[in-house]
Amino acid sequence: MEKSTMIACCGLVCSECPAYLATQQGNHTALSKLAREWSTEEHPLSVEDCLCCGCKGEGLVASFVDQCEIRRCALGRSLETCGHCSDYPCRLLEPTFRRSPKAKAMLDEIAAGVLSRKQEATGE
């Protein structure tokens, strides 16, 4: 059975993220490795900081996800993703898009579909 794809508010694919996968598998070794790889001097991470069920999942979210401005904005507006927002694209997404053109492509596709459905509903 194929697992469903979980798209983060910012367009990243949570269900492909190594922290999400390691959390789902209960793989402490992989989480420990991620904590080491993702840590910086300013922001050291522990295994617990990397535990994540996806930014829109029930339960644990990685410490850096919990602090995400994009996530807070989308959830505050009751949006599934930023691609569902009437203000899409906005400045909050610029750093994510620089790091991940795939996230932009995902949200562009979502936004196009949302616009298409609105036009169909209004007969435009």
Burial class (CB in 10 A: 0-12, 13-18, 19+), 27: middle
pLDDT at residue 116 in the model? 55
Residue-range domain boundaries for the chain: 14-122
pLDDT at residue 66 in the model? 76
Low-confidence residues of the chain, pLDDT below 70?
Answer: 1-3, 57-58, 114-124
pLDDT at residue 111 in the model? 92
The DSSP annotation for 31-90 comes to HHHHHHHH--SSS---HHHH--S-TTSSS---HHHHT-HHHHHHHHTT-SSGGG-TT-S-
pLDDT at residue 3 in the model? 58
